[in-house]
């Protein structure tokens, strides 16, 4: 819940009561190879361009060198840099927002209540440079969502876990308990929550098993 005096983060599609906690792009190490390719393409292209022999085919050959160098730059240097600039992870008080690729070709919006597991994967090289992959499991989905090459993945893991814990506290869920059902409002009194719980069950938003579990938890607080 937003504190007094705070305003929504501009231009990011956040809801009125949603706070932006963390926003970052992939680690700068991922730009090393595109930068090397850029230097090699420019230097190598210039050398080859100057070595083209004179004669009838001089102009066509030089044009071939220019076209090949530009194609190499666009595909192996400019494209990865643009993809890096367009890729970002946002952790908010309610969701994970992950966009990858040019023009946001792959985008995921994952509510925190749907997360079942968050882990970090790092090789020795990645640990040395402070980057790694953050992997999350989502309720009802096979496999994992992998957010690769992010800086300081442990910090991201802590931020996600902290927001999940704070959200559960706001929703009235005890630590370690299963996630609340969709539409659950834990800010009400116990009696009102029981009534709300029955409405969710009657609408088919939660199963009878979930109804009994949450009901027993609420009654245990009386």
Q: What is the pLDDT of residues 52-83, one digit of tens each?
A: 888 888 899 999 999 999 999 999 999 999 99
Q: At what angle do helices 32-51 and 79-86 cross, to 10 degrees?
A: 160
Q: pTM here?
A: 0.68
- The CA distances from residue 191 to 104, 197, 199, in Å, are 45, 10, 13
Distance CA 171, CA 168 (A): 5
Specify the higher pLDDT residue, 129 or 116.
129
- Residues across the chain: 222
What are the sequence ranges of the domains in the chain? Answer: 31-84, 94-171, 190-219
**Sign (positive or negative) of CA dihedral 184, 188, 117, 178:** negative
Q: CB–CB of 8/16 below 8 Å?
A: yes
> What pLDDT sits at residue 178?
53
Nearest to 65 by CA among 92, 88, 44: 44
How much is the pLDDT for 68? 93
Range from 5-9, 82-86, 122-126, 212-216 carrying the lowest mean pLDDT: 5-9
Contact 138, 148 (CB under 8 A): no
CA atoms within 13 A on the CB side of 156: 30
Write out pLDDT tens, residues 28-56: 999 999 999 999 999 999 999 999 888 88
């Amino acid at each position: 819940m937003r504190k007094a005096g705070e305003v929504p983060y501009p231009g990011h599609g956040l809801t009125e009561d949603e706070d932006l906690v963390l926003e970052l792009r992939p680690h700068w190490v991922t730009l090393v190879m595109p930068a090397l390719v850029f230097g090699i393409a420019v230097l190598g292209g210039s050398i080859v361009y100057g070595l083209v022999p004179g004669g009838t085919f001089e102009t066509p050959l030089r044009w071939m060198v220019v076209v090949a160098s530009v194609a190499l730059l666009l595909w192996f240097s400019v494209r990865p840099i643009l993809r890096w600039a367009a890729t970002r992870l946002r952790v908010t008080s309610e969701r994970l927002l992950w966009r990858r690729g040019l023009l946001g070709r792959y985008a995921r919006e994952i509510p925190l209540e749907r997360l079942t597991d968050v882990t970090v994967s790092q090789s020795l090289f990645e640990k040395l440079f402070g980057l790694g992959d953050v992997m999350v499991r989502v309720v009802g989905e096979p496999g994992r969502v992998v957010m690769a090459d992010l800086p300081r993945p442990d910090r991201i893991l802590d931020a996600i876990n902290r927001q999940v814990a704070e959200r559960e506290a706001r929703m009235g869920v005890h630590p370690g308990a299963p996630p609340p059902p969709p539409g659950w409002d834990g800010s009400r009194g116990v009696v009102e929550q029981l009534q709300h719980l029955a409405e969710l069950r009657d609408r088919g938003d939660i199963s009878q098993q979930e109804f009994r579990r949450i009901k027993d938890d609420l009654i245990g607080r009386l």
